[in-house]
Amino acid sequence: MKRVLFAGLFHETHTFLDGITGLNDFQVLRGNELLLRMGDSSPLGGALESAREFGWNVLPAIDYRASPSATVDDEVVEHFWSELKSVIQPPIDAVFLILHGAMVSKRIVDVEGEILDRLRRMISPAIPIFGVFDLHANFTQRMAEHANCLVAYRENPHTDARQAAKLAAGLLQRTMTTGKMPRMFWRHPPLMWPPTGTGTAVDPMCSLERLARDLENKSPNFWAVSVCAGFSFADTPDTGVSFAVATIGDEYEAQKALSELADLAMDKKSDGNVLDPPRDEVFARLNPLPSGLTVLVEPSDNIGGGAPGDGTGLLRALIKNSIANAAIAINDPQAIRELSKLPIGNKTTISLGGRSSRLDAGPFTLEVELQRFGSGQFQLEDKQSHLASMNGDSFDMGQSAVVHHGSLTILITSNKTPPFDLGQWRSQGIEPTKLSVIVVKAAVAHRAAYDPIASRMLWVDTPGPCTSNLRRLPYHKIQRPIFPLD
Ligand SMILES: [Zn+2]
């Protein structure tokens, strides 16, 4: 039986946010706790399922994961490493990692590269290091150098995260049965895109993914060709779009493929720099209110990208423009504490949202009527959703409240909740298909859930830390020149 060490490290770090993401913000699984994820909808669950099919002897180490947020405390990285190190007991036949690929700590700009480097120093070069990672990774030369085969998700929204993990596990099985050991090559053309430009249903990502699959099909040496869209809200030298090839062939062949991918990305660079129209322009299209459901997308407060989910830009605009039959979710644990004392059906005046970002206009004061108060735990309706790639089968919004202000419905949560699953609304008695307007604080990843119910989807520019206009962000460490800054 092959002994395969399993570990996970998952954080998408937004380095322009205030504050620090500490150890307490991470959900940690240790030892046999990892095995409980077997078969669930997460990448870890998928990889463990493959391990069982292949008859591996899984050595479950640790899994650290947190929602996208501010720069990580160095202590988290050192804790992770010391825990991982302590469970590496030879003999081990392989290592399988569940990574994000865009984690930054105060001192380390490339946490995954650092961990892979330390891991490689500890174990023999003959031991394969395989794994799966998020399409939004800021991949690096160091990651490529110290891993044998890391496979990116191929879809954004990440409907295939579990599948990508199973693909990577299948490739590790290939190495363990054939003895063939791939190595990785990487290329980073001088460009980055905001998250709004990284959906795989459209260009440039659609063409890049297609070319990556063509390259895999044409060369039997290529085990995995990964397109990394990058995470532009991190100020690191390697932030941006890049490509990684895991191959058993020679370097020349890999570099040729990387050139093709980089050239195509440069050709289509402007297509990926998607900017959002201003509020007034978008709200003019809502008067008169068109029929069917209009989804207003607010990328600057994109929870999946690390934003606080309490921005008041669109809340204010909905009220100012008297938009009827609309709904918005705002994360505000302080408002929840205030509402916890109010009987259902009563009215009160609260200050809502606007507490977490310097770019917001601040808390918005309004009178609301409390309709519902209680648990925000819900089961995902779509077990292949982007949310499942981060959290598995269920999500906890914490204590949550539904309030009304006129015909506006506001879902207030205690835990910020990426709007990637309609169970968020339905679990609270709100039927999204019956609304005229719904706000989602996202860029692209909401589309798997909302495309089927939306009559139209309008992106809106508001002040917030996940702005699609990258020129507004104060980069210092990123390699210059880079598109679209230069
Ligand atoms: Zn992602």
Q: How far apart are CA 128 and CA 149, in angstroms?
A: 8
Confidence of residue 215 (pLDDT cuts 50, 70, 90): very high
Q: How far is the CA of 388 from the centre of ligand 1 (A)?
A: 12
- pLDDT tens, residue by residue, 314-346: 999 999 999 999 999 999 999 999 999 999 999
pLDDT over 90 at 133, yes or no: yes
pLDDT over 80 at 313, yes or no: yes
Confidence of residue 392 (pLDDT cuts 50, 70, 90): confident
pLDDT over 90 at 385, yes or no: no
- CA dihedral (87, 37, 307, 354) positive or negative: negative
Q: What is the percent of the chain where pLDDT is above 70?
A: 100
- pLDDT tens, residue by residue, 148-191: 999 999 999 999 999 999 999 999 999 999 999 999 999 999 99
User: Which distant-in-sequence residues (6+ apart) come within 8 Å of 30 by Cβ?
Assistant: 61, 62, 83
Q: How far is the CA of 119 from the centre of ligand 1 (A)?
A: 24
pLDDT over 90 at 389, yes or no: no
Q: How far is the CA of 446 from the centre of ligand 1 (A)?
A: 12
Q: How far is the CA of 409 from the centre of ligand 1 (A)?
A: 29
Q: How far is the CA of 352 from the centre of ligand 1 (A)?
A: 29
Q: What is the percent of the chain where pLDDT is above 90?
A: 95
Question: Average pLDDT, stretch 105-131?
Answer: 97
H or E element that contains 10? strand 3-10
User: Which distant-in-sequence residues (6+ apart) come within 8 Å of 247 by Cβ?
Assistant: 182, 183, 184, 185, 219, 221, 222, 223, 253, 254
For the ranges 201-210, 246-255, 375-384, 401-410, the lowest mean pLDDT is seen at 375-384
- pLDDT tens, residue by residue, 239-264: 999 999 999 999 999 999 999 999 99
What is the distance, to the nearest Å, from the Cα of residue 267 to the centroid of all Cα atoms in its chain?
26
Q: How far is the CA of 299 from the centre of ligand 1 (A)?
A: 14
Q: How far apart are CA 107 and CA 198, in angstroms?
A: 28
Q: How far is the CA of 303 from the centre of ligand 1 (A)?
A: 12
- pLDDT of res. 325: 97
Q: How far is the CA of 279 from the centre of ligand 1 (A)?
A: 26
At position 380, the amino acid (one-letter code) is: L
pLDDT over 80 at 459, yes or no: yes
Q: How far is the CA of 485 from the centre of ligand 1 (A)?
A: 22
- pLDDT of res. 46: 96
Q: How far apart are CA 77 and CA 79, in angstroms?
A: 5
Choice between 93 and 389, residue whose per-residue pLDDT is larger = 93
- pLDDT of res. 391: 77
Residue whose C-alpha is closest to residue 65's, from 42, 86, 82: 42
Question: Average pLDDT, stretch 202-226?
Answer: 98
Confidence of residue 52 (pLDDT cuts 50, 70, 90): very high
Q: How far is the CA of 222 from the centre of ligand 1 (A)?
A: 23
pLDDT over 90 at 437, yes or no: yes
- pLDDT of res. 259: 98
Instruction: Quote the mean pLDDT of the chain.
Output: 96
Q: How far apart are CA 352 and CA 311, in angstroms?
A: 9
Question: Average pLDDT, stretch 67-82?
Answer: 97
- pLDDT of res. 39: 81
Residue 249 half-sphere exposure toward CB, CA atoms < 13 A: 18
Q: How far is the CA of 319 from the centre of ligand 1 (A)?
A: 32
- pLDDT of res. 387: 83
Q: How far apart are CA 69 and CA 331, in angstroms?
A: 14
H or E element that contains 283? helix 279-284
- pLDDT of res. 109: 98
- CA dihedral (240, 246, 247, 251) positive or negative: positive
Question: Average pLDDT, stretch 392-397?
Answer: 91
Could you tell me which residues are beta bridge partners of residue 438? Answer: 295, 327
Residue 368 in tokens:
């609301």
Q: How far is the CA of 233 from the centre of ligand 1 (A)?
A: 12
Q: How far apart are CA 369 and CA 349, in angstroms?
A: 9
- pLDDT of res. 384: 81
Nearest 10 degrees: CA dihedral of 421, 427, 432, 437? -90
Q: How far apart are CA 69 and CA 61, in angstroms?
A: 24
- pLDDT of res. 269: 98
Question: Average pLDDT, stretch 394-406?
Answer: 97
Question: Average pLDDT, stretch 18-31?
Answer: 96
| Residues comprising the chain, all counted | 486
- pLDDT tens, residue by residue, 413-424: 999 999 999 999
Q: How far apart are CA 97 and CA 165, in angstroms?
A: 9
Q: How far is the CA of 480 from the centre of ligand 1 (A)?
A: 24
